């Protein structure tokens, strides 16, 4: 194992052997990767199901601001009901 050419692999093996905080750091990295993979899968399912497309006639900064507004609205418990669709059309 010590002759392994990939430095990161030697570091991971050493962390697993020594345990403690070093091992926890690698486990945190693995958990973050697993979360990212799951979220990417969820995003892909939504893309395939709903086929969202960005409007071609709008500036990217405007689109980003709109998406941030939508996320903030939903995090505060908002929903896309009839009232929202009428009062916040864009």
Q: For 69-83, write each residue's pLDDT tens digit.
A: 999 999 999 888 888
pLDDT, average across residues 60-73: 92
Q: For 13-43, write each residue's pLDDT tens digit.
A: 888 888 888 899 999 999 999 999 999 999 9
Residue 2 has pLDDT above 70, yes or no: no
Closest C-alpha among 37, 66, 36, 73 to residue 52: 66
Residue 88 neighbours by CB distance under 10 Å: 13
Local structure of 51: helix, strand or coil: coil
């Amino acid at each position: 194992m010590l002759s392994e050419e990939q430095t990161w692999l030697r570091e991971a093996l050493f962390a697993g052997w020594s345990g403690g905080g070093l091992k926890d750091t690698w486990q945190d990295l693995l958990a973050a990767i697993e979360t990212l993979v799951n979220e990417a899968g969820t995003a892909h399912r939504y893309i395939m199901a709903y086929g969202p497309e960005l409007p071609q006639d709008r500036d990217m900064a405007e689109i980003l601001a709109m998406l941030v507004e939508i996320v903030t609205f939903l995090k505060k418990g908002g929903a896309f009901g009839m009232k929202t669709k009428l009062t916040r059309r864009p």
